[in-house]
Amino acid sequence: MPTNDFLFEKEYIIRRVLRIHFRAQYICEKYRIEMDDLIQVGRIALWKASENFRPMEDGLSFDSYAHRIIRLKLLDYLSYLKRPIRQCDYSESINAEIVEGVEIVETIHSEINLEEQALDRFYFKEVSSGFNRQENNLFQQRIAGYTYKEIQSNLGIKGKSFKVLRENMVEKIKNHQRQLVI
């Protein structure tokens, strides 16, 4: 159990994390958060870090370990408040990448009448007619609900080449949408 003196002695770590990673003054002013709230979250994280720190297993100094834990707890706190600090998530649906609210993939499970289903099939065939083989596989797997990581392993494509393939596919969909509007 850490003592109060120890926690106050190590409080400079909290201020360092806020200064280096978060531009705390800017966040407090823009989102009307009190600096004391951020410091309190940092203190709780510092306390948890001091309880869970195992120097032999982690291979880090306490300051490095506490720095990492405090930064992660502050990120969690800010994401809980629905602020724009987000980390990349490959499981997002393709809808997030399409401009002007065009919904290609329905993520809500509801009753779909046969007319809408027939129109969707026609639209999918029309959109995917301009794709090459890999783009078509990517498109079909996204419709089936696979995550990007699963699709990468299925297609055997990793990293930047997968990102380029996905961006090309999305660009073709956007161009198709622009042609429909015109």
Which of 69, 39, 37, 36 has the alpha carbon at shortest distance from 51?
69
Which string of DSSP letters, residue by residue, matches 49-69?
HHHH--HHHH-S-HHHHHHHH
CATH code for position 108: 1.10.10
Provide mean pLDDT across the span 123-136. 78
Determine the Cα–Cα distance for residues 32 and 49; give it in Å rounded to an integer.
Answer: 27
Determine the Cα–Cα distance for residues 148 and 92; give it in Å rounded to an integer.
Answer: 8
Which of the residue ranges 107-111, 117-121, 167-171 would you say has the lowest mean pLDDT? 107-111
For residue 161, pLDDT over 60 is answered with yes
Determine the Cα–Cα distance for residues 167 and 163; give it in Å rounded to an integer.
Answer: 6
Pair 114, 173 in one domain = yes
Supply the pLDDT for residue 139.
80
Provide mean pLDDT across the span 135-145. 81
Domain boundary among 33, 58, 80: 80
Task: Tell whether 140 is covered by a domain.
Answer: yes
pLDDT in tens, 25-72: 777 787 678 888 888 988 999 999 888 888 777 677 888 888 889 989
Supply the pLDDT for residue 119.
56
